[in-house]
Amino acid sequence: MQSEYDAIIIGAGVNSLACAVHLAAKGWRVGVFEQAGTPGGAVKTLELTAPGFHHDWAAMNISLFAGSGFFKAYGEELTGHGLEFAPASHCFASVFDDGKWLGVSTGPGETRARIAAFSEADAKTWDRLCDEFPGTAEYVFALLGNPMQMHIQGKLLAKALFRKGFAWAADLVRFLLSSPRKWLTETFESDHVRATMAAWGMHLDFAPDMAGGAVFPYLESMANQNFGMVIGKGGAATLTRALVARIEASGGAVHCSARVARVIREGGKATGIELEDGSIVKAKRAVIANVAPSGLMDLLDGQSGDDVFDTKMTKFAHAPGTMMIHLALDGLPDWTAGDELKSFAYVHIAPSLEQMARTYQQAVAGLLPDEPVLVVGQPTTIDPSRAPEGKHVLWVQVRMVPGEIRGDAAGKITETDWAQVKEIYAERALDMIERHAPGLRAKIIGRTVVSPLDLEADNPNLVGGDQVAGSHHLSQNFLFRPALGHATGKTPVDGLHLTGASVWPGAGTGAGAGYMLAQKLGGK
């Protein structure tokens, strides 16, 4: 291990690795230090259930990465280092208690026809949204893809006003501030259509009534309709492996099982790190921490030198947690609503806005939801290479659950320790799937249940199992992620920068925070 680098990056998540790739391309010697035994953070693939069955630990959908500015710049090189995508044309669907289903696919007219079966008026609205999407997406993606600095965002607003006019720009701002329920009920008349799109808000922490959440159901629905979905060939770890290979090819290094104990400061400047084993590694130009705000304070022994900043970091709010269920199967679920559902990457069990709102409130109150939202991922229908021939893996995300259990909304589970509760609660989730796909349990070859605390133990950024590394509610998003004045990753310590999903533009596999910081430090 080298004792000095130009830049030291703490944590080996996607943002860290993207940052390292760009800095290395600009001639910096970069060392990445990861406390876990495997790089990637939430983006890694493991044999969790049985030999030959490859499961994405947390993140499965890497569409944001495929569409990112970072991939546009480095995609050819990463492909040369083994990155492979598996595209999905049947992206996501929802199943309902009345036996019906609705799904979004890229085929001409497919999604429209399914919506028309519920409401012709909604089908016409869908047509209009699809027609308007390129013009709207230009500004929304520019907002999400640029640093959250007033002069940059001000130019974007001025451009929208000049080209689109005040009324259009005002409508866009209103939309960005709207809750999923507000926008969906204004826009669609079918409860089935509303629920199908609203499920995407629950991938973050936007229950139906949370202001600022409308944009996520909109973007996911429109993007999937227009571009499809992308997962990793062989598993999401294809992304991580390619990034690491690119770093190493540039003379950088990624060190795993190397927990950083603290950031070393000399004269008010970050000059290196101390590892848990006492080793000292110097940084000539920058120390970059891909950690949650609470983790940053730990690295600084609780004090940055700016009490206001420290208070903001300490009070940074996290979203409710997630539980994961990984299954090795003899065959795909037999969905009673129709065999066509077997071809979808995701099947949501989130039947109504009311159920989603109730689930969120129960989790926030510390209760195990009586009926959680389930995201049932079927990656092997897109990428058979993840399992032995004729076999499948199922990736089940249980949203939302509390990191600390205070009780059970259903009044049935009395234990409060996740070590005991996770297997019991997994049965509740499997019961929900069985209602829509009878016989699932008979297909199970092996299973592994990952509790919120298991997720946090593997990756301390996921506090309480919060897979999005911090609430995205308006008070903690845009200029306020992670706090006002620090959306670019700036800290009060000279030479120390914060990156990752806790920094603007937030969660996802798009590598935005890491790439923008690298461009700021090393140049574009």
**Amino acid letter, 398:** V
Residue 221: the pLDDT is 97
Task: Please report whether residue 215 resides in a domain.
Answer: no
CB–CB of 324/470 below 8 Å? no
Q: Residue 216 contacts by C-beta under 8 Å, 6 or more apart in sequence?
A: 180, 200, 201, 203, 204, 206
Cα–Cα nearest to 353, from 471, 524, 185:
185
Task: Please report whether residue 304 resides in a domain.
Answer: yes
* Exposure of 424 in the CB half-sphere (CA atoms within 13 A): 14
Residue 116: the pLDDT is 98
Task: Please report whether residue 511 resides in a domain.
Answer: yes
For residue 329, what are its two tokens? Answer: 């199967």
Into how many domains does the chain fold? Answer: 1
Residue 143: the pLDDT is 86
| pTM score, whole prediction | 0.96
Residue 140: the pLDDT is 87
Residue 158: the pLDDT is 83
Three-state secondary structure along 283-340? Answer: EEEEEEECCCHHHHHHHCCCCCCCHHHHHHHHCCCCCCEEEEEEEEECCCCCCCCCHH
Residue 199: the pLDDT is 98
Q: Residue 389 contacts by C-beta under 8 Å, 6 or more apart in sequence?
A: none
Task: Please report whether residue 342 resides in a domain.
Answer: no
DSSP 8-state symbol, 490: B
In the chain, which residues have pLDDT < 50?
none
Q: How far apart are the first and last CA of the chain?
A: 29
CB–CB of 515/70 below 8 Å? yes
Task: Please report whether residue 134 resides in a domain.
Answer: no
Q: What is the CATH number of the domain that holds 256?
A: 3.50.50.60
Residue 506 belongs to what H/E stretch? none
Residue 331: the pLDDT is 97
Where in the sequence is the domain holding 265, given as residue range(s)? 4-85+235-316+469-522
Task: Please report whether residue 504 resides in a domain.
Answer: yes
Residue 157: the pLDDT is 81
pLDDT in tens, 93-111: 999 999 999 999 999 899 9
Distances (CA, A) of 292 to 12, 18, 65: 13, 18, 21
